[in-house]
A and B are shown apart, each in its own frame.
Chain A
Amino acid sequence: MIVQSRSRAAARAVLAWGVVALFVFPLFFWITVAFKEAREIFDLPPRLANFTPTLNNFNEVFGLSLGGNLVGGGNFNMGPRLWDSIVIAVFSTLLAVTIATLASYALSRMKFRARHHYVSWVLSTRMMPPVAVAIPMFFIYKDIGLLDSYLGVILIHAVMNLPLAVLLMKSFFDDIPLEIDESAVIDGASRWYIFRRVVLPMAKGGIAATAVLCFIFSWTEFLFVLTLTQTGLKTVPVVSSTFVTSTGTAWGNMAALGVAAMAPAFLFVLLVQKQLVRGLTLGSLKQ
């Protein structure tokens, strides 16, 4: 009996590791491509460990000299694109989290008519397909000169993240017992005072998790940046798609850029493991 259950547990572990390995494989393979010379990328069966690692792809993409020589090809000078991604993700996150924290405090704490409808409206803006916003925004931005500007993309990314941030922050505020506010109200503290001094410090963890998710969604966004920028700025996901050309694709360079784009997101997602389910379900499920 014990032997049987032990072998079953072992079989389960083998299956579990096997399936997860299958999911991790494309990622692992992509990372190896970033460190390969062009001729080794295309070898079949794929070289997963038996290749000579090189930093040339990274050197060419970012114009650095990380060791090794800069051979042939060009310098793609992607450093500024990485910077664009960071600026857009940081500022759109700040904007979204600030606006969402204020709004979700009221949605969590104050009773008013049509509150439920208001929440539904916020949720329904999450349903809008980006293409239906990007098309009119392109013309609106063209008229007011926000096309191809940081501000334009920051604003649209903030708006894109607002429904997530509002609903998520509301769920974190809902977790803080109402009695804490009430006792302060009785003592004559204003709402603003309670918010700043009592509720906000207690919601720090929630705010951090919300910010991390907003950052990741801005960092990985594609369609808005594709549509609303031209030559002035581009984020990493959009610029990588330009590596596919009619004369061939610089796979090694593209993979290097892709790896650089994934690294911060991986770091961040490991920080918010505990809140990930809540975040991905807009605050409706808790882990």
Chain B
Amino acid sequence: MIGVSTILKRDVKRAARSGGTWAYGLVFMVIFLTLSAIALDGEMSTLRRLGVPLIWLAVTFATLMSADRAFSEDIKDGTTGQLWLGGFGYLEQAGSGIFAFGLIHLLPLIITAPLWSVLFDLNSETVIGLVAALLLAFPGIAAFTALAGALTGGQGKGGFLAIFISAPLLVPILIFGVAASQAYAITGWAAVEFRALAGLSLLALAVSVPATAAALAANTDR
């Protein structure tokens, strides 16, 4: 019987054997942040001020670049329909697909964020706030980006379209994400921005899971 864990195991195993294609986002993030630090002339006070927003931008861009990897292969080769016939419905496929996408394409960016924060000389409290905010935003970013991937998965070249669809959806998460990362150093865990971010993530999941399921069903009917 196919379940969420079967899908996760399959996707993680395939990513690990893909010759590093899962790491495109990570490589982009490193290059983007390094070039940003160089472009800002290595001026420490500027780097410290812009470090958090730049890391958030890098995470967002890097995830968007992978948007067309969510669901598109399963839709194109007919796996989505086969899973549905095998009793693994579109809603379950949406949930497990979003989680697998986040795990493979987004989590490595979040885990390595403290490493890149060295470039910007961020203090430890800011780094804790940054990672906590990124983790809270994880479901939201993964859900909206994977939704765009599912919507455009049936297209030949859906990559750009997926970016255009998901970018506006990610703006509120980006705004509150940066605010929460910076608020931790001042108000700690009680910062209202963390609650707003968690709320946005839950909202993203509530909207994206059924919408992704509908997109998968529509893309299977061809």
The reply to whether chain A is a binding partner of chain B is no
Please report B residues at the A interface, Cβ cutoff 8 Å. Answer: none
Interface residues of A (CB under 8 A from B): none
